[in-house]
Amino acid sequence: MFRRIEQQIQNEQFFLGSILQDWSLIEEASLQPKHFYHNQHKALFTKMLELKKQGQRVDLYVMSQLGDSAIDSFGGFSYLSELASCVPSISIFYKYQEQIYSFWMIQQAKESVNKFLEEAEDVIDPILLMELLERLSALELDIVKGRESFRELMAARYEEHLSSPESGLSGVDTGYPNLNVLTDGWQHGDLIIIGARPSMGKTAFALNIVLNGCRKDNIKAMFFSLEMSKEQIVDRLIALAGEINLMKMKNPNKHFSQDDWNRYHRAVAILDKLHLETSLENSVPAMRALIRKSVRENRNKKHVIIIDFLTLIKPTKRGTSRHHEIEQIVLDLKRMAVELKVPIIVLAQLSRQIEQRQDRRPLMSDLRESGAIEQTADMILFLYRDDYYNQSEKRKGITEIHVAKNRNGAIGKLEMRFIRETNVFKPLNELRIGGRHE
């Protein structure tokens, strides 16, 4: 029994520590303070729920501002810091929650049975027996409450299938018809990796996806840039929408012609009508909070999330190795995509080992920490431009888009023309479908 109590306290620590690491997880918590064994943990979770109700963040900084008496009731600030740093993985937050709840349920059942045995003594009292059965039935109802049966799930899916559109895409428009053929749009809940070596135009491609998709569909796009400033992103989008030489955007009054200014004003008018948001947040918890808020406030819009790029995302916890940190980040991103039901597109740098091969077209093994990425991602696209390595006027600007993995669809290649001066990707007609990725 002592070992079980130790495990319960540890699960409570992991559960509370996960919230301190990623305060948006408080939205996913289904426990109540009564479910906690440790009184300090009970008091801490009660305060977390109060902060949530007040619309405040639930993190270490906010906790540190509560005052000494409140902090002492939780075990002191050093204990709170220890909670935030001791979590093995926030990706199994729901497992901690389940274990806490299971322990509480078992304890409640034991208390009910023990109470019955104490009161019944040697004679079975029908009234006492009925009370015991009622208490156990109440626990049983508590266990199944909120759980969806297979029949209920199937009925919900049946309704969704009946109401699905007869035309159009099942996912979010990629902005390119040929790419839509392979993907049927970016699918909700999918983690999509776009990998390329530097100077292949992966950031430009991502911005083209954002711009074209938003112009074609009722989309809210969120672009998290961990490398560029917001001003640089805006300049790039204006250059894309107006097909303006990006170099001129550094000093329009010095370099713009009248035609450039006309294009500029048309581009601004186009962008003003679109639903775009840029952010410099560099951690999964901060991104999740912003995305959840946007999804909640824009329920009538499809969302697409772009993160530029993977290795610049800050880990929520220092891992034993960079490989372990990337693995954890990728798992957290996939979990976020599923929970919020949005496609998340992440740009990734490829290993420089690619430069040592005669054929420099990307392979799965070129993804840094490729094992974790290849296993977790639902879709992986590679960008390759031959004219970067081999001077050829015939192939100038031609970029191969290789859908190398597609868990729920076809794989294949298509080509686009990359106009470097404006960063615009224009579709070409060729599409080579290579079957399904298992």
Instruction: Indicate which residues carry an active-site annotation.
Output: 227
CA distance 131 to 133: 5
Token code pair at residue 106: 């078992």
Helix or strand holding residue 326 (H, E): helix 322-340
CA distance 260 to 149: 60
Q: Where would I find the beta strands (DSSP E) of 131-217?
A: 191-196
CA distance 281 to 278: 9
Residue 44 in contact with residue 16, Cβ under 8 Å? Answer: yes
| Burial letters 5-41, b for 16+ CB under 10 A, else e | eeebbebbbbbbbbbbbbbbbbeebebeeebbbbebb
Angle at 173 (CA atoms; ends 407, 373), nearest 5 degrees: 35
Mapped to the 3 state alphabet, what secondary structure does 360-390 carry?
CCCCHHHECCHHHHHHHCCEEEEEEEHHHCC
Report the SS3 class of residue 399. strand
Residue 188 has φ and ψ, to the nearest 5°, of -60, 130
CA distance 270 to 242: 9
Please compute, for residue 376, the number of CA atoms within 13 A of its CA located in the half-sphere on the CB side. 25
* 215 Cβ contact partners less than 8 Å away, ≥ 6 residues apart: 175, 270, 274
CA–CA distance from 378 to each of 370, 405, 406 (Å)?
A: 14, 7, 6
